[in-house]
A and B are shown apart, each in its own frame.
Chain A
């Protein structure tokens, strides 16, 4: 429906590495075991492998498509140290000779493996990844250029899925727990230390600990400021992270492989149907018991990017970070999470349904229908002969259409329901002639100076017989301890009214436009602060209810 949809192929690439790589140009795509070809493996540049060393035969089990990519070259660093005696055993385990400086071609740049410390007491191996961002950005397909040629970002400098890919390619044998020369080392726990420079952590140090501590690691994290000259910008999300544990190298690498992308589940996208299986394979023996497994799985699998959001964010880029979608996701949920314990959403829909049933309405329009939850409830009641959902966001309507399975409904059902794209800021003939309009948790998303337009659009022009309108009751906010004082329930709320403000506003409307209004509480009423949600039911004067 929308223009950007022709770009979706990039997201839903077929799981064939070769094809994907060609189509996607610079897009990182590492093929899976079956379709692996020599040219796609990481190759040491020179010299040829020594006996006892290996080229990375382990193909990356993931097909990875990177959408947001860095702009010019960047790098990330993983160091692995041990104090095992002799510490130089690390070289055998990693299949990398301590006296060598090796470089490997990866599809997104180059990886360098070397040792910064070699001694019997302590040995440190370094994996330095040099991302060729320009190469990633440039592509033949102009659409892809648009997708990839995003703004300058931190990708090149932070440990991300690139690093996981590189670990699998450069330290593949170690990851799989194979060692020709010293097989006994593979199964012996060693005192190991891994350091990542730098790891972006969404959720801060507590999340870092929540992930590594249950696995038995000691953690040391140094947080880097965004810019020391502008302390008011606050701390950045970047950490230099060191984890320590006596554990086998293979286990350590497996942990890193799965967990590195998890900390910053924002800008890489895994594609393919068997992602969950792959995650489980690498997480075998530990992920299932991990207390944070749900969050890890969710982040690992990532959110599908919305290209529509990207287009929108181009328009609001100065005001909001460009990758608003991923940021917005938890925020969207913020309100829901807050209200979940009292199951407010269900109570709200229940009360709205009761009110609209009581009005005897047959033709109902849900203004700001979002993803269509209320519409689904309306559909179940044969009282409603015509149900229309309107929203300002085409993207949301697409989700609603999918959730309601509009295309698969039998005609008798499908004829009752319609979704339309529209705005409450414009007079719209399509809104006329309804028995009831539902405006559930919508007005608080309108800028106060634009409320007047909404009022006229609905109460003067559309003029349904009944309007059921709900909005938060600000007074109740103090009941939620997790909500900081003075903060709204949702970041897009432009205001939240207390009961008096809402009732004044609603009564004013009723007066001006010839309606009467009555108020109902929604949700558990607090003795002092009232209900969490307030509802106004407007009835057009001079109409008798059926």
Chain B
């Protein structure tokens, strides 16, 4: 006998001790699918037969079963389950997780059970136990379906048990093998005219089906490229051509060119037609009138066929490997692909809060606002003026019958195709179209994104990135990031990117140097790229500039309503300028430069995201300069001359050995005096007072993203040259970064690169950044470093201390580990790009914020800050 059970079900084995449940379970199911009460007894008490711990054992069993079902795993309960009170919690569990409970009853003769038990050393109970269990079982048999089991299989002989074969069948809702492409069509409500136009516009061709059924038209549609239409339900009621609509949908379903899920109106009509007492409201009258208008001899067979069609509709569909879900009123993540009365109700009606609004309509519970599933959900049911994405859900019902339009979503293209209603067929109780055309409204997503959810940032997180797979954020780091984000960061709507950390080159062994370009060139050569770009490294503070063409663009694209056109943030997401007026001035100047360079149209965008260095260093880091760098210089320059002077005075008196030792120390002190001066010179290079806007210098070096694009597909030369055009338009504020392309396989070119660095750093420059010519470089082991920095000898005094170049110091400083820094650099880079890509794809803010938050969390990891 073949036992067909749903792929996702809770299989409850029922049978007395000794009936062979465990053997049966072992034979037909995975070891991990079977939860046995005996095993649970063993787990909590070390003794699988200890009846005293039964309560605890079943707690464990129910807990594990709940977890499995929540995760969508078929689960088999191996316990006697002969009493209804033992089965009731299992049925409740299956209902809770929208799985079908299945009973498999092993109703074997008592003799066999008793025999088997006597053969088992660990079963020491008397024969009455099995006898009782069997009689409880027999009494249960009749009521199993009533208890809630959707399927009951009874195996009443060893032969039947032997012959049993389990077949797992997918649920009707599971069409994950269908990949479309699909055209998902909103609520039609009898608007067949608009439906015909829409199908034609979508490229479907009219066909005439063979055969003639009374009452049905034989017109169908099919797409030459094999696309499939998906109706979200509510074909009937309210509109003028209900029967034509039904014909088209049914014929397309029949011929395989469409799928259809039922809507609440369709189900209500079905109820009416099957003789249930329903109120003739909300447009049902129109449907019934059309049916009543059919000639009497046609009417009955038509109704029969219609009932058959409507009854065959499945609550919702899971399509395209689970990536797409279509349901009339939507579908929560935990219900997708599952079957229960509640799932069906949700698909048809959604959920309501129990309140009613001022029009007397039930207030809908906004499940989409809380939707966190990975599948795209397309639904209808409640008319909206425009289809609007929210958390990967889309309401496609644009109220055609109410005078709106009939809309289809082309999937996977995610384009909308609409046909306006010929007329308003029905006045909506609650007006859904905006009275007048207003200023651009925030999208549903933007309005929803006004607030982010703590659940999306707290605790350990694993973020998947396109460039580097999963990046794990540890809880402690998320904790630190939450505090910084909450206390200091700018409005998250502006925070679409945080820059990654950057590793230095491997340590050089050149005398007197810690870093040298040779190692950078070697690194990229061994990663397999022939060309690198060397960019001058500016010493200021990292700044991310987001700029929109105008306030309107800022509102449309970023959902900000404060009238600002952009923002400048630090590498930790803090507003760069405390003075908002200065920020506005600054942004305005950069914006005019972009306009002058005609970048808006060149990139076909209304916004850009730039990665920059903002100088001078002292503009943002003044506190740091004062408390650390100037402090070192001040203290050193005060103490050292005194030391040198006292040593000189002592030297006059001392003789021989004593004098020689003193002089050695004195020499060191004098050298140190010079080092401190050079240290002071080094930091002074990057400081100047800022009294006016033009005392600032902004050096953009990445044009990270603009509408529809993250520019990681361009070379760095493109970035440099494109940005240079902006810089030329505002030379008093913007600084084009000089660069040099080096062929790392050509010694002459390499020497040229080294020379360039030597000359840059010789003039007090910080150094340079070496990057592969292409923005993204897949190296030997995954993503290579997107950039390495190579800092100058004098600059490094600021980092390693005034006297780091002394041999005894350098030799010890050389052993520094880069591995952790590099792994962070690549991780943060991948997260940064991922965030931008998500923004460009217009994903919900929480998905972008996740990346930004993660970069911040990684930044709190302890690494040697000198790297």
A residues whose Cβ falls under 8 Å from a Cβ of B = 1-4, 47, 70-77, 79, 99-101, 103, 112, 114-118, 124, 126, 128, 130, 133-135, 138, 142-143, 145-146, 149-154, 156-158, 197-198, 200, 224-227, 229-230, 232-234, 236-238, 240, 308, 311-312, 314-323, 392-394, 421-430, 445, 449-450, 452-453, 456-457, 461
Contacts and interface: CB of A to CB of B under 8 A. Distances in A.
Contact of A421 (B479, B638, B657, B804): B479
Contacts of A425: 452, 485-486
Contacts of A452: 450
Nearest to A115: B650
Interface of B: 450-458, 474, 476-477, 479-488, 490-491, 541, 562, 570-572, 574, 618, 620-640, 642-643, 645-647, 649-650, 653-655, 657-659, 661-662, 665, 668-669, 672, 680, 684, 687, 689, 798-804, 806, 808-809, 812-813, 815, 817, 856, 859-860, 862-866
Closest 5 CB pairs of A and B: A71-B801, A72-B801, A157-B635, A3-B476, A423-B486
Contact of A453 (B450, B482, B640, B661): B450
Contact of A101 (B659, B799, B866): B659
Contacts of A232: 689
A77 B639 contact: yes
A315 B802 contact: no
A80 to B, nearest CB: 12
B665 A152 contact: no
B684 A318 contact: no
B455 to A, nearest CB: 7
Given A103-B665, A116-B647, 13 more contacts: A2-B476, A126-B646, A149-B864, A151-B865, A152-B800, A224-B637, A229-B684, A315-B480, A316-B484, A318-B541, A421-B458, A426-B451, A449-B562
Contacts of A233: 622, 625-626, 630
B633 A227 contact: yes
Contacts of B457: 426
B864 A238 contact: no
B624 A321 contact: yes
Contacts of B635: 154, 157-158, 198, 200, 224, 236, 238
Contacts of A229: 684
A24 B35 CA distance: 52
A233 B479 CA distance: 34
Given A4-B476, A151-B865, A197-B639, A427 B451 contact: yes
26 contacts: A3-B476, A3-B477, A75-B669, A76-B639, A101-B661, A115-B653, A116-B647, A128-B643, A128-B647, A134-B813, A153-B632, A154-B636, A157-B638, A224-B634, A227-B630, A232-B689, A314-B860, A318-B541, A318-B571, A318-B621, A323-B627, A394-B483, A423-B485, A427-B452, A427-B453, A430-B454
B483 A319 contact: no
Contact of B634 (A3, A149, A236): A236
Contacts of A146: 862-864
B661 A103 contact: yes
B691 to A, nearest CB: 10
Given A116-B649, A312-B483, A450-B491, A152 B632 contact: yes
Contacts of A74: 636, 672, 801, 803
B480 A114 contact: no
Contact of B859 (A2, A3, A237, A315): A315
Contacts of B637: 224
Nearest to A445: B487
A188 to B, nearest CB: 26
B453 A314 contact: no
Contacts of B802: 72
Contacts of B813: 134
Contact of A238 (B574, B634, B812): B634
A101, A103, A422, A453: residue with the most chain B Cβ atoms closer than 10 Å: A101
B453 A428 contact: yes
Given A71-B800, A71-B804, A73-B806, A422 B860 contact: no
A39 to B, nearest CB: 22
A114 B632 contact: no
A112 B665 contact: yes
Contacts of B455: 428-429
Contacts of A152: 628-629, 632, 798-801
B454 to A, nearest CB: 4
A404 B865 CA distance: 36
A423 B628 contact: no
B480, B571, B633, B653: residue with the most chain A Cβ atoms closer than 10 Å: B480
A227 B684 contact: yes
A40 to B, nearest CB: 22
A350 B437 CA distance: 54
Nearest to B451: A427
Contact of B646 (A116, A135, A234, A323): A116
A322 B487 contact: no
A143 B862 contact: yes
Given A72-B803, A146-B864, A227-B634, A318 B624 contact: yes
Given A138-B812, A424-B486, A230 B665 contact: no
A213 to B, nearest CB: 23
Nearest to B570: A318
A101 B662 contact: yes
A317 B661 contact: no
Nearest to B633: A227
Contacts of A79: 646
Nearest to B620: A318
A423 B482 CA distance: 7
A392 B487 contact: yes
Contact of B649 (A117, A128, A424): A117
Contact of A392 (B483, B647, B800, B859): B483
A320 B625 CA distance: 10
Contacts of B452: 425-427
Contact of A197 (B479, B643, B864): B643
A2 B481 CA distance: 12
Contacts of B817: 142
A70 B639 CA distance: 15
Nearest to B618: A230
A476 to B, nearest CB: 25
Contacts of A126: 646-647, 650
Contact of A312 (B454, B480, B622, B687): B480
A154 B631 contact: yes
B638 A224 contact: yes
Contacts of A128: 643, 646-647, 665
Given A311-B862, A457-B451, A461-B451, A101 B654 contact: yes
B572 to A, nearest CB: 5
A316 to B, nearest CB: 6
Contacts of B803: 72-74
A311 B479 CA distance: 11
B798 to A, nearest CB: 7
A238 B856 CA distance: 35
Contact of A99 (B653, B798, B864): B653
Nearest to A457: B451
B261 to A, nearest CB: 31
Nearest to A74: B636
B809 A134 contact: yes
Contacts of A312: 480, 483-484, 860
B572 A316 contact: yes
A237 B634 CA distance: 9
Nearest to B813: A134
A320 B633 CA distance: 19
Given A101-B662, A146-B864, A153 B628 contact: yes
Given A321-B627, A421-B479, A430-B454, A197 B658 contact: no
B652 to A, nearest CB: 9
A116 B666 CA distance: 13
A230 B687 contact: yes
Contact of A319 (B456, B570, B639, B815): B570
B574 A114 contact: no
